[in-house]
Amino acid sequence: MSEEAIDALVNTMLEIAEQILKVARGLDKQQVSKMIEMLIEVKKNGKKVMVVGAGRSGLVGKAFAMRLMHLGFDVYVLGETITPAVSEEDLLIAISGSGTTHVVVSAAEAAKRVGAKVIAVTSFPDSPLASISDHVVRIPGRTKVSKEIDYFARQLLGIYEPLAPLGTLFEDAAMVFFDGVIVALMRALGVSEEYLKVRHANIEIF
């Protein structure tokens, strides 16, 4: 492996870490507080939390759903075979960096039609997803690859082009953000780590 490739690896990790720090320091606390309040209300009322995301954002959503399950939420991931119908007053967490991902926007529209609430987690508060959601939490991140002509223009102008490809910066920042949401929920609900351990899977499949 060339030294250049290893340097790129290290620099990319540093870039991602710096992005997460930047996102954490720039979070809109009112946006986050409202999201946590909506989650607690759903749990209190015995309603379901549904999570949807496409590709890597979907994997981030699954990780978040797992932790919500550990906290005692009635939570499902859209697209899984055991996921029930969305009902009135349920809560859909819709994850899309661009806010234009068709399957996510369609899911949000369907949820709204049956009277469910929608929280959009996206980089673009003026996106189609955000516009139909009840609440938006903005997580900045590079979500699209620049066109080649744009790339060379940026180079000529000395504009920095991120090393992390595609939606990596959004996805990694969203993952850490959701982990932070879980800790905030633990504090708000008075739940200890021991409680989470009790609900952790005790049958491992290898």
Domain boundaries, the chain: 3-192
Are the beta carbons of 200 and 70 closer than 8 angstroms? yes
Q: Residue 159, Cα to own-chain centre: how many angstroms?
A: 28
Whole-angstrom Cα distance, residue 147 to residue 123?
A: 19
Q: Which two tokens stand for residue 53?
A: 């995301």
Active-site hit among 171, 193, 194, 204: 171
**Would the pLDDT of 198 be above 90?**
no
Is domain 3-192 in CATH 3.40.50.10490, yes or no?
yes
Structure confidence by residue, pLDDT tens digits, 86-128: 999 999 999 999 999 999 999 999 999 999 999 999 999 999 9
The pLDDT assigned to 110 comes to 96
The pLDDT assigned to 5 comes to 87
**Is there a catalytic annotation at residue 171?**
yes
Whole-angstrom Cα distance, residue 1 to residue 84?
A: 48
CA distances from 94 to 33, 80, 120, 194 (A): 17, 15, 5, 29
**Would the pLDDT of 148 be above 60?**
no
Whole-angstrom Cα distance, residue 64 to residue 53?
A: 11
41-55, 148-162, 179-193, range with the lowest pLDDT:
148-162
> Phi and psi for 13 in degrees, rounded to 5?
-60, -40
Whole-angstrom Cα distance, residue 92 to residue 107?
A: 9
SS3 121: strand
